[in-house]
Amino acid sequence: MYGWCMDKVLKSINEMERVCIYPKDIQIVTGRSERYGRKLIAEIKKWLSKENHQLVSIEEFCQYTGLKKEIVMKSINN
């Protein structure tokens, strides 16, 4: 549709796996509010001794919550 090169780029972008989790993702996974997601990210950062500017990975979120990464990835990718 876009040409061979652009199709290849779009395919590789679609295959990239997300690394970070955001409050909206937590809202989708837990069914709670986005505010709850922000609070949970703050708790995880404190638990990991991270600074405010540092991001929380999906892996770290899964360790903290006890959820399986496959379930979280499936939820946020839909």
Close Cβ partners of 33 (under 8 Å, ≥ 6 residues apart):
27
What does the DSSP assignment read for 11-64? HHHHHPPP-B--HHHHHHHHSS-HHHHHHHHHHHHHHTT--TTS--BHHHHHHH
Every domain of the chain and the residues it spans = 17-77
Give per-residue pLDDT as tens, 5-38. Answer: 766 666 665 667 889 999 999 999 999 999 999 9
Give per-residue pLDDT as tens, 47-62. Answer: 999 999 999 999 999 9
* Global pTM value: 0.79
